[in-house]
Structure 1
């Protein structure tokens, strides 16, 4: 068979097949191939369409907290009249009345029943009641508080408690979906959804150590101490505060990163208080001019100017003087000061920090044995 006859023999079936396929696509559009852009965030493999599984995973670990305290109150009656008390020898002893004072939320973080919440929820309370998601209710004991991060650790004695799974707040990115679980206004456990608006927020004046995750997920009164979880139900923060004069959520809320919160909890459980490192000096941030940075071959444009030295403290014993400009701690730039503060606080007392500083235009490096910071009140 010649090539020309072979092409004629197979050509007609091919043409007929193409015509039939074209007609089928015209008559049945659903047969057309999907041309959707699979790079869209909505179709990224593994991205949740609903957050119900995340909530189901985390919600059993979030509890409602109710506190009450004893207050002194006199009866407003005839007995308050001084003449009546004189005639009838009535001292009018003040009555003790137990009143519910605050409500909030908390998160069960281990199988032993330890709960993380906010200090401002339980501060001054005489009795603390915890309501679990499964309906069980029990008293809670205060293990300790960390007023420098506005955190408190409670403990309940119940079997089969559900500890929450942890996420990694250091990997949280602006734009990540997050969910806030708590007890807003005492209506019962509720969930609000938003995104991470910012990370590393500080200078809010709510506590001494600040490194907040900012979110627009609604955080209202009663949400404090509750969970901020990622889209997969992992805890990344403890909801703490909102930025609004009315106390209601306007989309600017803050959570303490869970890694920071767990450092406080572990220290309280181990030592009965929060133990943080200290170098025994106070300072302020100064900014170098660009020519100074270039002339001294620095990789930082800021330093901590030492202002006051604690007598016989770690810095004093290491030879650091007022006026020294500290540029690095363990080879890490001091940045805006917050990084340096957190690094010192996280260093166990007794360990050594290498401090690089400038004194009269001379670069020096000294070893400082970290001391213990005298933190605020702790209750056990």
Structure 2
């Protein structure tokens, strides 16, 4: 390599000097940058925490909530279900006679649709009985339960009760942790409660809130409702989980929310208003389901409403507490005991009756055949009446001129109404044809594959159906497989409907 001459250095001194200065600037900039990045002074807080009697009180509250969570969580389970539904355009296409002439037409064969759902449950006995919501396991072909220790089990349905949206399932396990049960009658508005469950599949979550209201109804029309309202966060997946008081006792089973339907997949999410079934209702239902697979409820035989200020003034009642008797069913238990229209029931077996819903809940939680003591006001005068309760009919809650098949049968989920002249004209039903019109079919019903709105049911198990009363009676008596005679779009045909998985109850 040639050496640089003095003449070269003299001729290029200025350029070399500028180059050296540039290199030095780059080196200095790099050193400063690295030093800044590597040796910046970071000042951390000294870690001192707040203290004092008020902070100690909060710490004690935290520890109390932790105790409740640790005590209850082992008794809460994660439930996942699989449901196989058949999707079919018309019941005609399942008729062998029809297919003999027309064959299997494209797009008309039953298509299987597999649905998955998540929910929660509460272990109620060491032998594996679990209470959950009926809507969590309704029509499920497969039910899996995961415990808090991550063990998984297959579950079978022991019994369901659509009127209260409760169900009992069972897993083959023993020595399981169980939840402690409290008295929901003792709850007060403002009490602190905690909600346990699996919201959106987030396993074994706990939220905290207060009791916002008691005795809520009108949430799910057609059911027996006396809900606890809470602002403890309840979301899809919490259904069937526990609502617990500060003593770690289950006082309700989470069942519903009011929402804006803004969640994933169109599901609703929490807006601060959730509902739970009171534990006293749950205990009555689950004991009957475990014992016999069905629920027996007391029946008073009256139509009641809340006491309005106008009623209170007209019937000389000092306030609006109690249940106002609008109508007494002839020859019913109340009529036989002397209860009259216009009476106001203020106490039931010594307990205050807040409103009509409270009385209905108290009566239905009492076994048929029991004697109930009623404290009433009749035109302002206090009276005591004893009533021997009957058994609540399967369709006691149905609206006039409308019928609904009872839960646990192949016809579950079918709602009907009387066939009016206007409906005959619209549906093309001759005047000499009797029956009831299908007004709604729940898509989880075994009948959903065969019946649609506007179909006319003429007979059940070869017994004629002239009106809603006939339908209620025959649907209540129908067990197992059911034969229907149906008119669909002017054509009559027979349909055989079998109970779906989990229907019929029993052990």
Task: Give how far 1:363 is off.
Answer: 5.8
Question: d(CA) in 2 for partners of 1:163 and 1:111?
Answer: 6
Match for 1:342 among 361, 367, 378? 361
Of residues 239, 248, 261, the one that matches 2:282 is: 261
Please, what TM-score do these two structures have when normalized by structure 2? 0.57
Q: Which stretches in structure 2 are left out of the alignment for 5+ residues? A: 1-50, 89-98, 262-267, 395-405, 409-503
1:194 and 2:213 are equivalent in the alignment: no
Superposition deviation, residue 167 in structure 1: 4.1
Aligned counterpart for 1:64 among listed residues 78, 85, 92 = 78
C-alpha displacement at 1:105, in angstroms? 1.0
* Number of the residue aligned with 1:377: 407
* Aligned-pair CA distance for 1:244: 0.9
Say which is worse superposed, 256-265 or 104-113, in terms of deviation. 256-265
RMSD over aligned CA atoms reads 3.6
| Mapping of residues 316-355 of structure 1, within 5 Å | 316-330=335-349, 334-355=353-374
- Per the alignment, residue 474 of structure 2 pairs with none
Matched residue, 1:131 = 146
> 1:114 deviation in Å?
0.9
Measure the CA separation in 2 of the matches of 1:204 and 1:291: 23
Structure 1: distance between partners of 2:351 and 2:174: 45
Q: 2:269 aligns with which of 222, 230, 248?
A: 248
Describe how 1:101-250 pairs up with structure 2 within 5 A.
Answer: 101-186=116-201, 188-206=202-220, 208-231=223-246, 233-246=248-261, 247-250=268-271
2:312–2:318 CA contact under 8 A, matched in 1 = no
CA deviations 1:223-255 (Å, max 9, x no partner) are: 111122345644332111111131101222122
From the superposition, tell whether residues 112 and 44 of structure 1 become closer, same or farther in structure 2 (CA, over 3 Å): same
**CA distance in structure 1 between the partners assigned to 2:351 and 2:196 by the alignment:** 36
Aligned residues: 332
Partner of 2:434 in structure 1? none
Q: Which moved more, 1:332-341 or 1:221-230?
A: 332-341
Q: Give the Cα separation in 2 of the matches to 1:305 and 1:322.
A: 8
After superposition, give the CA deviation of every residue in 1:240-297 in whole Å (9 maximum; x if it has no partner).
111113110122212223232122101222232122111112122334679969x96x
Gap runs ≥5 in structure 1: 1-34, 75-84
Structure 2 contact 117–136 (Cα < 8 Å) conserved: yes
> Per-residue deviation at 1:333?
5.2
Residues 76-124 of structure 1: CA distance to partner in whole angstroms, max 9, x if unpaired? xxxxxxxxx99x9766784664623321111111112111111111112
Residue 330 of structure 1, CA deviation: 4.3
The higher radius of gyration belongs to 2
The higher-RCO structure (CA 8 Å, 6+ apart) is 1
Task: Report the equivalent of 2:332.
Answer: 313
Partner Cα separation in structure 2 for residue 291 and residue 136 of structure 1: 57
